[in-house]
Structure 1
Amino acid sequence: MTDKISVNCQAKLSEAITKLSAMFRDKKFMVVSLRPGKDRTLDQNALWFAMYQRIAEMTQIGDIEDARRHCKLHYGVQILINEDAGFREGWYATMRHLSYEQKLALMGGCPLFGPDGFPVTRLFNRAQGVAYTDRIVAYFSGLGVVFTDLLSQEAA
């Protein structure tokens, strides 16, 4: 059982202390890790969801989930293939032979990989996440999708 709580206000601090106390009462032994900083995945995931929504609104790609599948397969997988030898080896061994439609379907929620689909963006480090965002912007801006407002909120 692992819990992760981002503490960014008094209420979250109270929640963390309450969970820690309850776990100690129940288990008596725990491993606790603390680190300062902001959980970038929450902000990044929110940005990507807004981008997928914008892509769905401004293109003929389909709905938000279709935009997400497209971006994961076309940009995320390529980043990981280029930068992670283990991922590349696994992709080539298990996924490369599948049809485009099968690969695209597996990027979304499915019984094999769960509600988030084939793991791509959750494997990213910070630099890969930035590259993913940049690639989405570069491609879809060329199709007339405007992300300026979303990206300016990200910088704030």
Structure 2
Amino acid sequence: MIYRRFLLRGRASNPFPRPKPLTLGKCSDGNLQKAYCNSLYIIRKPYQVWRVGGVTRWRGAVLGAWNPLSLPCGEYRNRRRDQRLLRRLPGLPHQEMWGGNDSWWERHFWVPDLSLGQAQRLAQALDQMAFLYLDRRRVVLVCANLLRQRGR
């Protein structure tokens, strides 16, 4: 009898459910969008972990320069692209962070209080497919290539 009750109970709910992904536009590649949404974005000090669709009290953008157009590049080229991104952020506060999942990690930069328009222009100039935008409520995935096609 106890065994039967155990089977009917089902699984316990996850205490840390994955948030529903929140995106602006759709990336041209569905698998790529799924990879962005399944990734974690981590700042070490102060320790913060963000996920697309998650709740946040922060405002700004998470920008990366690695692997333009989501095509893998060598570490030397990626580090040069990081320097290019940093040169485009003169006087703006920024902090290094990492984003990715089990098989893939990339260096990113958290730029607090950067507007959505400024972040779009930077992402497009660096040939990035997408970036994260935090609006003090949610973490939003913004597909930059879609915005480029629309001429924004």
Same fold (TM over 0.5): no
Q: Which has the higher helix share?
A: 1
Looking at CA atoms only, which structure, 1 or 2, has the larger radius of gyration? 1
Length-normalised TM-score, structure 2: 0.29
